[in-house]
């Protein structure tokens, strides 16, 4: 079965430190991978995506993600965290059996402390 796992419910990091939010996936075929961010009581906002090409993808607000095919991972990273980065982050992969659907992880809450 196709799936996405975000193994950490919450990640805590001090402002100015690098951050990583983990995501692993299981799909057949080549994955289309996405990261979204959600602020309280808001919809999801697109951060970045990997479809093909360079394994390091750069996105909005200084975030980037590294696609690792051998480890089936797509971890979200940022070199220097801001307090305003505190939010809920979702990883998603396109369902290869129905390419109009996305499969979402359960989300990771990022808390950046001043």
Partner 1 sequence: DGGITQSPKYLFRKEGQNVTLSCEQNLNHDAMYWYRQDPGQGLRLIYYSQIVNDFQKGDIAEGYSVSREKKESFPLTVTSAQKNPTAFYLCASSSRAEQFFGPGTRLTVL
Asked whether position 89 contacts partner 1 by CB under 8 A, the answer is no
Contact, 11 vs 111, CB < 8 A? yes
Site for partner 1 in 16-55 (CB under 8 A): 32, 34, 36, 41-46, 49
Coil, strand or helix at 84: helix
Q: How far is the CB of 44 from partner 1 (least distance, A)?
A: 4
In 3D space, the residue among 43, 40, 49 whose CA is nearest the CA of residue 86 turns out to be: 40
Comparison of 17 and 98: residue with beta carbon closer to partner 1: 98
Site string for partner 1, 49-88 (x = CB under 8 A): x---------------------------------------
Those residues whose C-beta lies under 8 Å from the C-beta of residue 88, and which sit 6 or more positions away, are 37, 38, 39, 107, 108, 109, 110
Asked whether position 9 contacts partner 1 by CB under 8 A, the answer is yes
To which residue do tokens 């999801």 refer? 44
Assigned token pair, 96: 């290869």
What is the binding site for partner 1 (CB under 8 A)? 9, 32, 34, 36, 41-46, 49, 90, 92, 94, 99-102, 104-107
């Amino acid at each position: 079965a196709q799936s996405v796992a975000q193994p950490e419910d919450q990640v805590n990091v001090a402002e100015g430190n690098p951050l990583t939010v983990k995501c692993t996936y299981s799909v057949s075929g080549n994955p289309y991978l996405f990261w979204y961010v959600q602020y309280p009581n808001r919809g999801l906002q697109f951060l970045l995506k990997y479809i093909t090409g360079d394994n390091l993808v750069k996105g909005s607000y200084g975030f980037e993600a590294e696609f690792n095919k051998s480890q089936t991972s797509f971890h979200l990273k940022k070199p220097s965290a801001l307090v305003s980065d505190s939010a809920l982050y979702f990883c998603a992969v396109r369902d290869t059996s129905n390419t109009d659907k996305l499969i979402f992880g359960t989300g990771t809450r990022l808390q950046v402390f001043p």
